[in-house]
């Protein structure tokens, strides 16, 4: 049973029941977050940071998919382009607003902010980036870059819906060309300043790629689910066929392998060098129940999706892919927790604070989902005048291999008359 041909599932009436879910998530999440902030402000800061980095990975991964569509002039990704643009545009102002608690609680979250560089060599070596002005200027630069290329890409995409001008295509390619460089730099900077900096003594040249791989991985899983839901609602049925779902599943498989490769490479390089200023990061994460979380990541983050996606046909079965995509989202969250939470709870997972983690996740998810659905309803579900739209829909115009009969006859007459028109002859 292919994902495209399956007509079962959510009907418009059933889908309408889910429209109130973001509001419930916001209300319940806000209540839990307020209680958590009153009970333990530092724990609230770490829980909020974890939820923020999870949703940021989804937003930035979606921006990468949009830019790849333009840089490779792809046709299969036309159907997912528009809602990926909406996801990318959540970076500003919404993710910037959600960053405010982190900005305010940064002295409580990041231990290096309370240290004196004169007595800390690792901190002094990272001057001026690891200073309070550097921290906030880096955040300003990241959100500025994300706001610029995400808004420009969506602006020209919506502009193309109006007139179908080729100028819009060239503009989107231009913004994708410089945007991909800004994307790589800003994503790396954000991962270092907001996540790796929790232990400023540690360094890894692969950390930016580490976060990038997980970002695209979770974005592909989310794109698959959203595309299938919109397809079943009749919003993408013209642009999403078996090929599109197969390509999404294949990319998901590829980034499963790529992400595992980056994880293993980082661990192997640090283990092989055996330098105390590097190994302490992994030593901490082998203590208590964090060792079990590491094993969960080895099997759940790699082996489960890898073995599940090996078969070609399963990539088209929604009943199989939906739980797998949900599992990928869970593993991305666990992986980020493995990076963040051992700093605050070095002896193991603090299960007593799971409710606060869930509250932060629910509040952010509700806000972002509400904005996403609003944007989805304001604009066409897919770019209606994309130059690759016909190809994405499987419509290929016939190529004329010979001229009509009238044209050759006229050409012959003109050719025979040409010597007389020149005013001279033999």
Statement: residue 221 has pLDDT above 80: yes
Q: How many CB atoms lie within 10 A of CB 217?
A: 27
What pLDDT was estimated at residue 394? 80
323 part of a folded domain: yes
- CA geometry: angle 33, 39, 40, nearest 5 deg: 85
Q: Cα-flanking dihedrals φ and ψ of residue 396, to 5°?
A: -120, 115
Residue 403, in any domain of the structure: no
Q: Which of 208-212, 235-239, 259-263 has the lowest mean pLDDT?
A: 235-239
Q: In 175-206, which positions are buried (b, 16+ CB within 10 angstroms) versus exposed (e)?
A: bbeebbebbeebbbbbbbbbbbbbbbbbbbeb
How many helices and strands, by DSSP H and E, does the chain display?
18, 0
Cβ atoms 251, 217 nearer than 8 A: no
Look at residue 243 and tell me if it is in a domain: yes
List pLDDT tens digits, range 375-406: 999 999 999 999 999 888 887 666 556 655 55
Q: Which residues contact 220 (CB under 8 A, 6 or more apart)?
A: 61, 65, 248, 251, 252, 255
Is 206 domain-assigned?
yes
Question: Strand, coil or helix: what is 264?
Answer: helix
**What domain count does the chain have?**
1
User: 275 pLDDT exceeds 70?
Assistant: yes
Task: Write down how long the chain is.
Answer: 426
Q: Does some domain include residue 338?
A: yes
The pLDDT value given to residue 404: 56
The CA-atom distances, in angstroms, between 288 and each of 50, 283, 352 are 20, 11, 15
What pLDDT score was predicted for residue 222?
98
Indicate the average pLDDT of the chain. 90
The answer, yes or no, to whether residue 409 has pLDDT greater than 50, is: no
Residues in Cβ contact with 362 at an 8 Å cutoff, skipping those fewer than 6 apart: 25, 26, 28, 29, 32
Alpha-carbon distance of 162 to 153, in angstroms, equals 15
- The pLDDT, as a whole number, for residue 277 is 85
pLDDT in the model for residue 203: 86
Q: How far apart are CA 394 and CA 207, in angstroms?
A: 40
DSSP string, 191-223: HHHHTGGGGTT---TTHHHHHHHHHHHHHHHHH
pLDDT at residue 42 is higher than 70:
yes
CA distance 141 to 129: 12
As given in the structure block, the two tokens for residue 313 are 């046909």
Q: What was the pLDDT predicted at 410?
A: 44
Whether pTM > 0.85 for this model: the answer is: yes
pLDDT for res 238 = 86
d(C-alpha 96, C-alpha 143), whole Å: 7
Q: Assess if residue 399 is contained within a domain.
A: no
pLDDT tens string 181-200: 999 999 999 999 999 999 99
User: What is the mean pLDDT of the segment spanning 209-235?
Assistant: 96
Asked if residue 413 is part of any domain, the answer here is no
How many Å apart are CA 311 and CA 2, to the nearest integer?
Answer: 14
* Phi, then psi, of 73 in degrees rounded to 5: 50, 50
134-181 pLDDT, tens per residue? 999 999 999 999 999 999 999 999 999 998 999 999 999 999 999 999
Percent of the chain with pLDDT over 90: 81
Out of 157-171, 312-326, 402-416, least confident range = 402-416
Using the predicted structure, report yes or no on whether residue 36 has a pLDDT greater than 50. Answer: yes
Q: Is the pLDDT of residue 3 over 70?
A: no
Model pLDDT, residue 19: 81
Domain span at residue 179 reads: 12-388
């Amino acid at each position: 049973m292919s994902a495209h041909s399956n007509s079962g599932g959510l009907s418009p009436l059933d889908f309408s029941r889910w429209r109130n879910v973001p509001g419930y998530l916001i209300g319940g999440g806000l209540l839990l977050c307020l209680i958590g902030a009153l009970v333990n402000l530092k724990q609230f800061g770490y829980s909020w940071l974890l939820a923020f980095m999870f949703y940021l990975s989804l937003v930035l991964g979606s921006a990468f998919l949009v830019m790849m569509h333009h840089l490779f002039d792809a046709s299969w990704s036309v159907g997912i382009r528009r809602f990926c643009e909406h996801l990318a545009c959540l970076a500003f102002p919404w993710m910037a607003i959600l960053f405010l608690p982190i900005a305010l609680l940064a002295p409580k979250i990041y231990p290096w902010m309370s240290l004196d560089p004169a007595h800390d060599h690792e901190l002094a070596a990272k001057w001026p980036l690891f200073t309070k002005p550097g921290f906030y200027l880096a955040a300003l630069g990241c959100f500025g870059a994300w706001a610029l290329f995400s808004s420009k890409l969506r602006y020209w995409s919506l502009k193309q819906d109006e007139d179908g001008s080729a100028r819009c295509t060239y503009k989107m390619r231009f913004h994708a060309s410089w945007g991909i460089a800004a994307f790589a730099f800003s994503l790396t900077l954000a991962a270092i300043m907001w996540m790796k900096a929790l232990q400023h003594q540690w360094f890894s040249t692969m950390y930016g790629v580490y976060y990038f791989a997980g970002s695209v991985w979770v974005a592909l899983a989310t794109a698959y689910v959203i595309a299938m839901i919109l397809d079943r609602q009749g919003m993408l049925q013209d642009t999403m066929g078996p090929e599109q779902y197969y390509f999404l599943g294949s990319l998901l498989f590829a980034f499963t392998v790529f992400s595992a490769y980056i994880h293993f490479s980082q661990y192997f390089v640090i283990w092989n060098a055996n330098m105390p200023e590097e190994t302490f990061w992994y030593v901490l994460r082998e203590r208590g129940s964090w060792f079990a979380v590491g094993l969960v990541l080895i099997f759940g983050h790699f082996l489960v999706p890898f073995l599940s996606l090996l078969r070609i046909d399963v990539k088209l079965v929604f009943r199989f892919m939906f739980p797998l995509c949900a599992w990928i989202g869970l593993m991305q969250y666990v992986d980020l927790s493995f990076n963040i939470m051992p700093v605050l709870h070095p002896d193991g997972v603090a299960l007593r604070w799971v409710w606060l983690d869930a509250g932060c996740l629910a509040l952010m998810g509700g806000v972002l989902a509400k904005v996403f659905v609003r944007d989805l309803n304001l604009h066409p579900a897919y770019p209606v005048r994309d130059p690759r739209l016909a190809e994405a829909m499987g419509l290929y115009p016939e190529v004329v291999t010979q001229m009509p009969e009238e044209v050759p006859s006229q050409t012959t007459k003109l050719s025979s008359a040409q010597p007389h028109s020149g005013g001279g002859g033999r």
